[in-house]
Structure 1
Amino acid sequence: MEFNHADLFEALADAIGDRRALVAPGPDGVERLTYAELDVYANRLAHHLEDAGVGPGQHVGVHLYNGLEYITTVLAALKLRAVPVNVNYRYVEAELEYLYNDAQLVALVYESDFEERVTAAAGRTPTLRHRVVSGGTSPHAVPYKDALAGSPATRGFAQRSGDDRYIIYTGGTTGMPKGVVWRCEDLFMAFGGGNPYGEPRKTPGEVIEAARSSGGVVMMTAAPLMHGAAQMTTFISWWMGGSVVYNRRFDAAEILRTIETEKVLTLGITGDAMARPLVDAIAAGSYDLSSLAALSSTGAILSGSVRERLSELLPNMMIIDSFGSSESGYTASGVEGSTPESGLKYRPNITSLRVLGDDLRPVEPGSGTIGQIAKTGHLPIGYWNDEAKTAKTFVEVDGERWLLTGDIATLEADGTVSVLGRGSQCINTGGEKVFPEEIEAVLKGHPAVFDVVVTGVTDEMYGQRVAAVVQLYADAEASQGDLDAHCRSRLSGYKVPRTYAFVAELQRSPAGKADYRWARKVAEKA
């Protein structure tokens, strides 16, 4: 047994096989499976894929909503030493064609809802030779139930290693998606090392023993499994000997009903895009959320106004802002009282996190020097099929390999990191740098604003001007003048948006991340 996700899961199935591992939508309704039962599902699908010619190092696309089929496919691919590849279920035909070909998929497990666009994109993907369809039938694919029914429940797979690959495709906020390639052992270590509250486990056996002796927590991820954070939350819950809970898609009221029914202890979400509907649903409904002890946001920041509302509604719940990415793993947690409005601060939970200056040297703590957050230690191999992006993001300094995250920050005297924003989204207006996250946080503090994305648009005099794409609450009213006055009382003049575009609904990724490409187009038209 090595630090390999399939090895570890199989060892858990042997050690605590009768303990619940999963509560999730499945082909026959909500499934509640033990570790041993889930292992059998994954074995059957793995043998089916193996019989279809899928082998070590080959890529299997997972184009599904949250559910039993998704995590079964991930485990099945890993059992074969094949590589699961997450596919964004909102992608249209052209985007799917790009991803299928970029990832060089040889097999695909997909939702029947996507049949038309999958068929079109698959027809232009020469490497894709086998498909499994869930939730329906297709002349081009084997039904998911048939794939499992015709395959053995036992294991019998080749030996694996910590060097086996795991790919997380990340769309980020701009450009086409890119695949982050990890060694399984490095991925395991980067996301907690089997112990998110302390030092990484030293051996795979320690992971299993810790899970065996645990009480078995119940964790829920509201984010889609096509987002790396949701996949890692799943594994982390298992390394702790617990169970993970999914809903098929995000619906605030359904999430709350599930927390009540399954007695969920911790909930993982993605920023305000999920937190705001949850706040509204909690305020409007009557749910028993007494089991919920912690809410963790990853991938996007919680604004101070939403955090305050959550604290009012659920005063005994811990709220955690986690800092990390598909490239870095879980690296830091928000400092108590820190918000985007007041200044966002994180405390590193690893010793390998630094702020590097333009010369790629660590900045002096407390100096106020602005640099880029970087990480060394357990890192990805790079980006799949993109040597240029890999060389730009992963650099070597004095023989040590570093990940440049693109997050701009200063290092405080007490070792905390003050994050200013993403360098790629920084707006340069007349030589002044404006970070959208700060402006977004201020605007979200206005009682009429439900959601907002701030971006830069072309300006003949200043190069760029600040623009805000705003979604108001359904029953609220606010003019550009109202928002302008709100911002001017809290921001320097050059940071105040000059252009506002009001929209009925803000477009975000399925993971809740801001879609800056879309926002920029909307703002340019305004």
Structure 2
Amino acid sequence: MPQSAEPRLAEQQLDLATLHEAVAAAIPDRECLVWRDRRMTWREVTDRTRRLANVLRAHGLGRRDGPHEPWESPHDHLALYLHNGPEYLEGLVGAHKARVAPFNVNYRYVDDELAHLFADARPAAILYHARFAGQVERVVQRLGGAPPLLLQVADDSGAPLAPGALGYEDALAAASAEPPPGVRPSPDDLQILYTGGTTGMPKGVLWRIGDLMHGPFQARRRDGAALTDVGEAVARAVRGGHRVLVAPPMMHGGGTWSALGGWCGGACVIFPHRVDGLDADDLMDVAERERATRMPIVGDAFARPIVESLERRPRDLSSLRTLLNSAAGISPGVKRRLLELAPGARLVDVLGSSESGFSVTRQGADARFALHPGAAVLSADRTRRLAPGEDELGWLAKGGGSIPLGYLNAPEKTAATFLTVDGDRLVVPGDRARLLADGTVEVHGRDATTINTGGEKVFAEEVETVLRGLPGVTDALVLGRPSERWGSEIVAVVGPADAPDDAALRDGCAPHLARYKIPKAFVRTGRTLRLPNGKADYAAARELVETSLDGPGETGE
């Protein structure tokens, strides 16, 4: 049946635009956003987001109410083709104030990838940094159709204003700073999060903003209950005083969720000086200078450089209370050293996806995860919830209301991923897990990275975790390659280029892994194995394997 435009939940929900306005009215002069030499109050950010909303509305953009399917969007769409910075957050909030659905663009994409994304998302407007002007112009011409509204943000590239584009600052200056007339944002308004494409072409996940607020943005009371009253949410924001330092790129969910979740709690959001890549020295300098209290990171790709930076020059991180790690694991030794160097902080590992938000968490050195509210482990056939202690490798699932509607323009993929089990709607992104007798969860990894070797299933992430904990190994990715004997055999790409020899690596794995899980071959590299967001770059790893190892291997037993 078509999805109604009315709120689908019985309880009241918050929306981002309304809450942002209400928090700004309560704390107008408190610091809201810091980047380089720019310090903006809540009043100033509100002024700018209203102006952007009025620019979008003046060009006819908004929402068309009426019935729609869960894989359809009733909004015009705003592409955010930006590095981290004030304009990214202004784009998100300003779009919601205009009832336009924003979506993320991976700034690493080449023309073909960008054309695929824009053909699927159909942006009515593109907000982009000047350095991307040429690519935007080429892809827009290639797609044809009505040209989108182009808003170009000046940067240090020196690129001139593209033909037909509006300078972002000039457009804001010419627009009204009053709320857009006649616009009433709703919890039903959508925000689109495109997946990273690590398991196929990127898919646009359709999140209701009300579900994002009560899910990934964590607009909840201390007891876990959802905040449904604007006044109560504002009171919480007034009491808050967090300063959230966001280094992961906001073109991925973790960075966006950390920043907007911070704003929902009245926090000041801070960006490091460098935003086109990780500079750990810069990040730690900003953390010290701005007295950051919370900082999201992404696995060893962030943790190792941070540790090295702090070992070179210790900083005063006494204000730092929480390190929130997601999207990739941190090796045990690196985790221990990080906490030694930031002794007042707790490290929280969260596991989730673009489709589920956060599903499980763990703290400290614990290897097991605790289920978030609404999360469950389903049976292997995905027909029922497993009970604690059932000896079955199942699927991690998330329900509880605060999950997306589906995938944009993809009814079949929506039906395959969003299921109804025992009357409850759940999302099953593809992570395999086991529910232990004490109710904790043993996570085995994404099914897409599972390798079938000789009839045995091997989860790449399990082997990677062991390898990254070995002396002399800074990173590792594991994949399968064709084998006449095994069907697929396990191979590992490890860094650095002078990592220990094969025998030493196999010996190091032996106490922790069954024999069939130990890699049959190793490739060493000095190149990074991580994407800009810290996630594993399996495409690069496979290329290294294909160029370094000739033909199927038959080593080992």
- Tell me whether the two structures share a fold, i.e. TM-score over 0.5: yes
AA partner of residue 496 (structure 2): L
Q: Does the CA-based 8 Å contact 2:196-2:252 persist in structure 1?
A: no
Q: Secondary structure at the match of 1:405?
A: coil
Partner letter of residue 133 of structure 1?
Q
Q: Any stretches of 5+ residues in structure 2 without a counterpart?
A: 1-11, 64-74, 550-557
Residue 285 (structure 2) pairs with residue 257 (structure 1): yes
Aligned to 2:38: 31
- Tell me which residue corresponds to 1:337: 365
Contact 2:31–2:42 under 8 Å retained in 1: yes
Q: Check the 8 A contact 2:346/2:364 in 1, yes or no.
A: no
Could you give the per-residue CA deviations for residues 199-251 of structure 1, whole angstroms, max 9, x where no partner exists? 22132322112112x14111112111111121111122122222111122421
Which stretch of structure 1 is more off in the superposition, 493-502 or 65-74? Answer: 493-502
- In the alignment, the residues of structure 1 paired with residue 454 and residue 344 of structure 2 have an alpha-carbon distance, to the nearest angstrom, of 46
Q: Is the 8 A contact 1:60 1:85 kept in 2?
A: yes
Give the corresponding residue for 2:23. Answer: 12
Q: State the shift of 1:400 in Å.
A: 2.3
1:209 aligns with 2:235: yes
Q: Contact between 1:73 and 1:109, CA under 8 Å: does it hold in 2?
A: yes
What does residue 496 of structure 1 align with?
518
Alpha-carbon RMSD across the aligned residues, in angstroms, is 1.8
Contact 1:181 1:382 in 2 (8 A): yes
- Counterparts of 1:147 and 1:396 in 2: how far apart (Å)? 46
1:48 partnered with 2:55: yes
SS at match of 1:124: helix
1:413 matched to 2:437 = yes
Match in the other structure for 1:295: 323
- 1:346 pairs, out of 344, 360, 369, with 369
1:304 alignment partner in structure 2? 332
1:7: how far off? 1.0
Aligned to 1:22: 33
| In structure 1, C-alpha distance between the alignment counterparts of 2:372 and 2:257, rounded to whole Å | 17
* Structure 1 position 18, deviation (Å): 1.4
Superposed counterparts of 1:4-403, under 5 Å: 4-25=15-36, 30-56=37-63, 57-125=75-143, 126-135=145-154, 136=159, 137-157=161-181, 158-191=183-216, 193-195=218-220, 197=222, 198-212=224-238, 214-247=239-272, 248-249=275-276, 250-338=278-366, 344-378=367-401, 379-403=403-427
Post-superposition shift, 1:330? 2.2
With over 3 angstroms needed to count, the CA separation of the structure-2 counterparts of 1:192 and 1:107, relative to structure 1, is: closer
Take 2:25 and 2:292, find their aligned partners in 1: how far apart are those partners? 25
CA 1:175/1:357 → structure 2, altered by over 3 Å: closer, same or farther?
A: closer
CA contact (8 A) 1:224 1:510 kept: yes
User: TM-score of the superposition, structure 1-length normalised?
Assistant: 0.93
CA pair 55-424 structure 1, distance change in 2 beyond 3 A = same
Whole-angstrom distance in 1 between the partners of 2:164 and 2:200: 31
Conservation of the 8 A alpha-carbon contact between 2:467 and 2:476: yes
2:447, 2:90 → 1: CA distance? 37
Q: Which amino acid aligns with 1:216?
A: G
* Separation in 1, partners of 2:529, 2:149: 33
Specify whether residues 181 and 128 from structure 1 end up closer, same or farther in structure 2 by C-alpha distance, changes over 3 A only.
farther
Question: 1:341 — aligned with what?
Answer: none
Mapped contact 1:440–1:452 kept (Cα < 8 A)? yes
Corresponding position: 1:506 with 2:528 = yes
Instruction: State the shift of 1:272 in Å.
Output: 1.1
**Equivalent residue pairs, number:** 514
Query: Shift of residue 156 of structure 1?
Result: 2.7
1-structure distance, mates of 2:499, 2:148? 53
What code does the residue aligned with 2:515 have?
G
Is the 1:374–1:404 Cα contact (8 Å) retained in structure 2?
yes
User: How far 1:508 moved relative to its partner?
Assistant: 2.4
Runs (4+) off by over 6 Å: none
Q: Which amino acid aligns with 1:75?
A: V
Aligned residue for 2:91, secondary structure, equals: helix
Contact kept, 8 Å, 1:256 with 1:287, in 2: the verdict is yes
Shift of 1:41: 0.9
TM-score (norm 2): 0.88
Counterpart residue identity of residue 226, structure 1? M
Q: Is the 8 A contact 1:65 1:89 kept in 2?
A: yes
Structure 2 letter corresponding to 1:350: P
The letter of the residue matching 1:105 is: P
CA shift for structure 1 position 267? 0.8
Partner Cα distance (1:350, 1:2) in 2: 17
